Structure 1
Amino acid sequence: MTDATSTLPGTRTGEAGFGDYVALLKPRVMTLVVFTAFAGLMVAPVSLHPMVAFASILFIALGGGASGALNMWWDADIDAVMRRTRSRPVPSGAVRGDEALALGLALSGIAVVMLGLAANWAAAGLLAFTIFFYAVIYTMWLKRWTPQNIVIGGAAGAFPPMIGWVAATGSVSLESVLMFALIFMWTPPHFWALALFMKSDYADAGVPMLTVTHGRPATRRHIVVYTALLAPLAIGTAFSAIGGPVYLAVAVIMNLRFLQGAVAIARRDDAAAEADNYKVEKAFFRFSLYYLFAHFGALMVDAGLDRFGWGIW
């Protein structure tokens, strides 16, 4: 049987294992960073040598992991309060806070320098700014200060495809901005859906999420508004230089479904949500993950078709 106290804050004893240090890097978040950065690199109109492309993605991923370690170092106090995060390496006692800080800083330096050497210094500079934005602007400031934390802080998660594009081309362009904007506008409804069924965690930790400061009804309305603003941006990207028929079909289907889910959330009240344990909200949150992977996957499919001369437009 598992010891029930093993997930309580500060109850871990003994030396940290390799898995604990991997967990510090937030591997689930890193998966999204790698995928979107790879998409940005693949749809760019410049082909990189496979080794340069591999190294670029590796160091972008390392930078994303460094951001996660710095986030866990700073947020250890609130992570210890929230059920969803109390088993993380630092609040559980598996890894000391100073170790997380040292690892985050070391990996940040390695990632930025090596990306500059492997690809170009424009991409390295953008990666450095992304790490700073996530660790300092979002984690240390916005997250605990304003209910707009996710809206503004969402920029940190939106930079990876732009970094991938800059690694290939050496500069920012409209197409990279469109990929950035897609993630930036997707982030609020994605996280607010989570906040709807995790409100008590954020309230206990003193994090001013929209559900805590304005209540669930206002959050539901915000989800509809941002989803409605996201849809034309996502679909309109199909008619840019990186778009294509596959992306257009995916964008239309996914955004109609996303809007349907947002409206379903807005039509519910707290009593209905509590009665079925936030079934609709949790389904919307899960779908939001598929949403982003589908869009960037479709961009890569269209880019591949174009390179083989099979593109329609």
Structure 2
Amino acid sequence: MEAKETIYSLDKKKKKFFIQKNPSLVMNNRLYIFVLPALIIFGVFWIWPFIKLFTYSVTDFNGFNLNYNHVGFSNFKTLFDSGILFNSISNTLIYTAILVIGGNLLAIVLALALNSKIKGMAFYRSAAYIPALFSAIVIGFIWSYVYMPSSGLIASLMNMIGLDGSSFNILGDYGKALYGITIVDIWKNVGQTMIIYLAGLQTIDNSVLESAKIDGCSEWQIIRFVKIPLLAPSITINVILNVINGLKSFDYPFIMTNGGPGDSTNTLMFSIYKMAFTEQQFGKAAAFSVISFLVIIAITAVLLIFMNKREREME
């Protein structure tokens, strides 16, 4: 018999009912003790550093000397006046936009192509997913060779077809370096995004597709008016994941360009790292982190509202 939370008993002497707690449930409540270690770790390594971040953001703390001074909001004013903040936000938003649009479009095309029954399909699906298995460090070094001027893979291919491979230097071009590292991020994560779309396509009932064919819809019309609307939940998930990935981009700017040339690939996370651990301006880096946190929260909130509204419209 299922245990109830309370037991109503009759006190014969006082001739009235009283409520008695179920002993088994009282014992079960003690199981919350096992959650305490996780809560303590979460508090020590997340809540406490988060609070200290706001504390350091109004100081001149350099990361080492604890005899720091409170400087008010001068760190925030310096960031706004220097232009570093707006450049980092701009680079991050461009990076994120390309990652979301390019990565999702490519993943949908791959998912549609790999959602068919042809010989060797398991191999093709595995091959598309392989880049997602490697770490960002490995991918960054591989693509640094691919992009290498004169002797890299792309430059060598250009030389083979009669073009000047020595002129190819995408990572050394101020206007193109950001796009170059974004392509690398898309290439690495497109397999993971494709898997989510592929799972969504396989949940579509074949009777719906057959009905569309009977009504005279072409393959493109089935994709546009049937498959894509039914992929709305998968689109929402992938867009959110890609936005998160773009906003926290650090690996490829650090590995492939070190933020250069100039400040063309300085993203929010890389700029915070550089300011804190290279320039040893921890107080300004903390202020930078606070602003970045607010920017990311605002973008995420707007995105969730828009995607939920869009998902309801597509259903």
Q: TM-score, normalised by structure 1?
A: 0.28
Larger Rg: 2
